[in-house]
Amino acid sequence: MSMDRGDDTSRAADGPVRHHPVLLAEVLAGLAVRPGGLYADGTFGAGGYSRAILATPGTRVLALDRDPDAIAGGAELVADMAGRLTLEKARFADLDKVAPDAGFAALDGVTFDIGVSSMQIDQAERGFSFRFDGPLDMRMESAGPSAADIVNGADEETLANIFFYYGEERQSRRLARAIVADRVATPFHTTRQLAELAGRVIHHKPTEIHPATRAFQALRIAVNDELGQLVRGLVAAEKALAPGGRLAVVSFHSLEDRIVKQFLADRAGRGQARSRLLPGEPPAPTPTFDLVTRQPIIAGEAELAANPRARSAKLRVASRTGAPSRGVDAKLKALAELPESNTRRRS
């Protein structure tokens, strides 16, 4: 399970070192980038995918990012591209609304690189990582409730569900109980406070990942509604793509990949027996995507050696058909939401 994307920077002894985006060649091949095409990079970050797409003559790119720091950092590239790159502060879940207004109707390709970027993790003041002591924040947009607000305000059951369902933390209830008990005397304001508590109460072996890893991932997902954004982003891409347009999604952990896999399988009509309908049974919807990759593409040995952050990356690619787009269905939406209250678990 990965906490971050691999498209920005990695920490070295003498400072940040820039990496190529994860699975860059595979994403470009999946998008089938062509001269003069219109593309959307829904997770701009440091602009790695956008730069690579713009290397093909005549292409134009609409890039989105919800992080104001990413928008500010991309200003120079926008200027260099002389009108070929449009950079908007927006969530990729709103792609279908932003694209037409920006002159990017009927896109030839859309790519998403899901999760938090290395740049965000490496900024202690953003509070994404327990590697640094900083405010318990984790907000990609620097607005709205923070991780500290959730940790100090949510009830025990809600906290346990966040840790269990968004972080896959098996000892979620133990951690939630400890937080609720400790915050009475000392509210949680820093990443170190939460990491130290997780280290005390979560049973782990020295060879395992840090006991705070899953809790931090879960809070980040909850703070930024990452899974809900992913569900809505996939539907937005379906609406924004032209027939024959490609969707290429890179995910970094099982929760994300499960949503992408199920969305594409459903939209491609996998598992539907169209010739065996029961009397009165409505026909299955016409597929809106054809699968380009039936199994996820993963990084090769050379990329893993150069960028260990690619180790958990999975790329899935599909091609848009001419069928009408659909909305968010209940089954897909449920994958992004916490269960109803009073769900009992042992942990």
What is the H or E stretch that residue 111 is in? Answer: strand 107-113
Cα 294 off chain centre by: 20
The model's pTM = 0.88
Higher pLDDT, 263 or 347: 263
The mean pLDDT of the chain is 88
Give the model's pLDDT for residue 131.
Answer: 75
Residues 319-328: tens digit of each pLDDT: 999 999 999 9
**Strands ordered across the beta sheet of 85-89:** 85-89, 60-65, 38-41, 107-113, 241-251, 314-320, 289-291
Give the model's pLDDT for residue 116.
Answer: 66
Give the model's pLDDT for residue 341.
Answer: 62
pLDDT at 132 over 90: no
pLDDT at 276 over 70: no
Mean pLDDT of 61-68: 95
By CB atoms closer than 10 A (0-12, 13-18, 19+), residue 329 is: middle
pLDDT at 125 over 80: no
Lowest mean pLDDT, pick from 92-101, 251-260, 268-277: 268-277
Contact criterion met (CB below 8 Å) for 95 and 236 = yes
Residues 114-123: tens digit of each pLDDT: 976 565 555 5
Mean pLDDT of 135-161: 93
**Who contacts 317 (Cβ-Cβ below 8 Å, separation ≥6)?**
30, 31, 246, 247, 248, 249, 291, 292, 293, 297
Mean pLDDT of 40-59: 96
pLDDT band at 16 (very low <50, low <70, confident <90, very high): very low
Cα 133 off chain centre by: 24
Give the model's pLDDT for residue 142.
Answer: 76
Give the model's pLDDT for residue 59.
Answer: 98
Mean pLDDT of 145-157: 96
Residues 18-34 as b/e (b if ≥16 CB within 10 A, e otherwise) read ebbbbbbebbbbbbbbe
Give the residue ranges of DSSP H helices in 81-211: 95-101, 118-121, 147-153, 156-161, 167, 172-182, 191-201
CATH number for the domain formed by residue range(s) 129-223? 1.10.150.170
Fold of 9-118+226-334: Rossmann fold (3.40.50)
Give the model's pLDDT for residue 10.
Answer: 35
**Domain-by-domain residue ranges, the chain?**
9-118+226-334, 129-223
Q: Same topology for domains 9-118+226-334 and 129-223, yes or no? A: no
pLDDT at 4 over 90: no
